[in-house]
Chain A
């Protein structure tokens, strides 16, 4: 049995105090000078340890506070309050919510799974990835490795084309060479995000993190200069139609490359393959109205991997704007199944993968692996203020971050995600992430539940009023 894959997480405290969800309002004036002040009874000693963050002009008590409300409830003059922090609620956007940002920062700092002990207070279901649940019915019999010392759960995936059959000659030898295949220890590839202060530095950090994790780093070709030999095997240069040059020395160094889809991509692929037969080529296809047919067409023509990319908010592009990435993945997957080609190609997806559960859910919908981009930037403490896109100053100085520090935060984030994937699979009773692909039978979709369970229970008989009439 191969050695167990393990991600080495290590605490990397933030350089800038992360914005806290709630803030303390401490009036102080009118204090009775009680013999035992509630502030001295704070379980985390927040009032004594509080300081001042010079870069953000904030009182650091909010980062220390654990929201137990002991001081709020205990002050006899009611001089202490807790309120929502408007600086926190303003970060991110509707999709990349403050909660997602805060959870990502926590995971990047600690490498641990964020656990909330106060129960789940959110809605029953929501749009996109929140519209279905994984079936955790095996949670009583967890197969999770590590903590329980039980069966090993494999998160390895293959990237490349798999032949549907093999042929042998009379000596029992394969009649044709098997196509190149790359085994990754986890179904997560890293890619440079579309924004970020000092993109060159961010790209170095990503490459370093990929090396540490044993996965691939997708980097735009024009951003790559000479790369060291040990890094070359984990770099996946991304080309546009025009930038792909057969004489590019990098093609001889790397094991896999990506090219943006264009009308002549098949011919281009063939030329590259002829010269570099061991190179795996992935075609990057926009998740637009034609994506399903295009993925099928490319697969039928021999593509080894296809990368479907959606918007930052996990929506389709162009005519498919109204569709969520999960539905687009599902359609591509089913089309390949229908064409009996599903196992030949590797389906990679990106865009809006924001949480660990999205990794599992994208795979359940039919992806082989996901590509993380924006969360990697968030791991570096990014506030998603987009100042860097307007030439402004990055409030968390990502441009000055050291590669070592940044890479460890990314490793921590991916470590926490991978652990959550293991937890999900353990609770589902699965031991192979390869088997999770397309396993919708092990997921519950809200539209099915509404139809099959809730509709018969809550349907109104004809003519019955839906609401009680006011009397």
Chain B
């Protein structure tokens, strides 16, 4: 079964979403990169709903907290990620299926390392268990 990764990328941290795609070495795994005005745009419900689509891994790329254009945006994105992971653990899903990295804009090697980490993570996790029971999972996440 083909796998899919969705990356929500702060446009300050990743001004060129195509760059992530060009660094992608995930083989058959489909990658979608969605530019966002700030990583704090992504709320916990959006992370969970995206995961329930189902997608095999959801990732958020933020700026380093001290350079966030929205001051607290990156910090808040971190808080949401922690909340989402806790929630996933509570409902019995792997918290590792969501992740976040921080980046200094323009740091190409750090971006390459992040892309490699995403690709390694999805390979290690394999296909989402929600793919086996997508309807039940979607029902659960809709509640």
Contact = CB atoms under 8 A, between A and B. Distances in A.
B40 A25 contact: yes
Q: How large is the interface on B (under 10, 10 to 19, 20 to 34, 35 or more residues)?
A: 20 to 34
A59 B50 CA distance: 10
Contacts of A86: 11, 35-37
A57 interface: yes
B34 interface: yes
B34 A57 contact: yes
B76 A27 contact: yes
A81 interface: yes
A23 B72 CA distance: 18
A339 interface: no
B38 A25 contact: yes
Interface in B1-49: 6, 8, 11, 32, 34-38, 40-41, 43, 45-46, 49
Given A57-B34, A57-B46, 14 more contacts: A23-B36, A23-B37, A25-B70, A26-B43, A52-B45, A52-B46, A52-B49, A54-B49, A59-B46, A85-B37, A86-B35, A86-B36, A86-B37, A87-B36
Contacts of A25: 37-38, 40-41, 70, 73
Interface string B48-82: 01100101000000000000001011001001100
Interface string A45-72: 0000000101001110000000000000
A52 B142 CA distance: 10
A83 interface: yes
Interface of B: 6, 8, 11, 32, 34-38, 40-41, 43, 45-46, 49-50, 53, 55, 70, 72-73, 76, 79-80
A83 B37 CA distance: 7
A54 B53 contact: yes
B70 A81 contact: yes
A340 interface: no
Contacts of A29: 76, 79-80
B140 to A, nearest CB: 14
Contacts of A44: none
A23 B36 CA distance: 9
Nearest to B50: A57
A198 interface: no
A84 interface: yes
Interface of A: 23, 25-29, 52, 54, 57-59, 81, 83-87, 90
13 contacts: A27-B72, A29-B80, A52-B45, A52-B49, A57-B6, A57-B32, A57-B53, A59-B43, A81-B70, A83-B41, A84-B37, A87-B36, A90-B35
B68 to A, nearest CB: 12
A19 to B, nearest CB: 11
A86 B84 CA distance: 24
Q: Give 3 closest A-B pairs by Cβ, nearest first.
A: A83-B37, A86-B35, A52-B49
Contact of B35 (A28, A52, A59, A87): A87
Contacts of A58: 34, 46
Contacts of B43: 26, 28, 59
A28 B46 CA distance: 14
A69 to B, nearest CB: 16
- Of B41, B46, B55, most buried by chain A (CB within 10 Å of CB) is B41
Contact of B34 (A28, A83, A87): A87
A29 B43 CA distance: 10
Nearest to B8: A57
Contacts of B49: 52, 54, 57
A54 B55 CA distance: 10
Contacts of B34: 57-58, 87
Contacts of A57: 6, 8, 32, 34, 46, 49-50, 53, 55
B118 to A, nearest CB: 16
B103 to A, nearest CB: 16
Contacts of B53: 54, 57
Contacts of B46: 52, 57-59
A195 B76 CA distance: 42
Contacts of A59: 43, 45-46
B38 A83 contact: yes
Contacts of B70: 25, 81
A93 to B, nearest CB: 15
Contacts of A28: 43
Nearest to A56: B34
Contacts of B72: 27
B55 to A, nearest CB: 8
A235 B22 CA distance: 44
A216 to B, nearest CB: 40
A23 B41 contact: yes
A103 B80 CA distance: 35
Contacts of B38: 25, 83
